[in-house]
Amino acid sequence: MRSLVVLLALVSALITLSAQMTEPYVHSNAQTSTNNHDWAQLIPNRLDEGNQGSLSAHAHSTDQQATGTGMIDGSQHPEMIPDSIAYRLYFTTASLPSNPTAEQMQLQIAQLGMIGLNASDTKAVMETLAAFRVQFDSLVADYNSSADRGEANVELFTLQMELLVANTRGALKASLSAEGMALFDAYVQAEKQHMQIAFGKTD
């Protein structure tokens, strides 16, 4: 029983650690519950290396980013959070970096277990997330390289990211059972209630 409690606590840490994932737009305030995490959408000049082989998204508080910017609070208006952003946040949170630790792999399994998928669908999601992460990391590396040269193209990066998310969702629909896809969709939609998205460009 103690092991289960510890594992669930680690799952919460994984979700709230999403600010440190290789996600150029995401910031998450640290929370203590898997159902109490906030997100903000940012556009940094460069994506910096963070903990656990991932990237930090220029961590600023959600309140700070809301100043002078538009804000969507999912707890009040979940329907206003675009599916593309909600899925991107989930994909970057649930996917593993290259050469993940045993702890990270256990956390992913526990997190996916929250969706209620069967073993076959869970395996398909893990494989799809792995493919997503490889492409995502490549996009981030290219973006950073262009930023170092003073040639960062936010519009292009955003389009590439939206296409990657759309393709990943398509891959899930092609590989999951109808019931599994319905469960996955329902889970991501429900998570919108715990997301906050602030629109604005960082310095």
Q: Which amino acid is at 124?
A: A
Segments making up each domain of the chain, as ranges:
2-199
Closest by CA to 91, choosing from 169, 183, 179, is 169
60 close to 27: Cβ distance less than 8 angstroms? yes
DSSP conformation letters of 14-59: HHHGGGGSS-TTEEEE--SSTT--EEEE-B-SSPEE-STT-EE---
pLDDT at 195: 85
User: Going by DSSP bridges, is the β-strand pair 55-56/70-73 parallel, antiparallel, or unpaired?
Assistant: unpaired
Closest by CA to 39, choosing from 52, 23, 27, is 27
Rg (CA), the chain: 16
DSSP conformation letters of 75-125: TT-GGGS-HHHHHHHHHHHHSPPSS--HHHHHHHHHHHHTTT--HHHHHHH
38 close to 193: Cβ distance less than 8 angstroms? no
Q: Can you give the pLDDT of all 203 residues of the chain as single tens digits? A: 434 333 333 343 333 333 333 334 333 332 223 333 333 344 445 554 433 333 323 222 333 333 446 888 888 989 999 999 999 999 999 999 999 999 999 999 999 999 999 999 999 999 999 999 999 999 999 999 999 999 999 999 999 999 999 999 999 999 999 999 999 999 999 999 988 887 665 44
| Burial (CB count within 10 angstroms: exposed 0-12, middle 13-18, buried 19+), residue 31 | middle
pLDDT at 200: 60
pLDDT at 25: 38
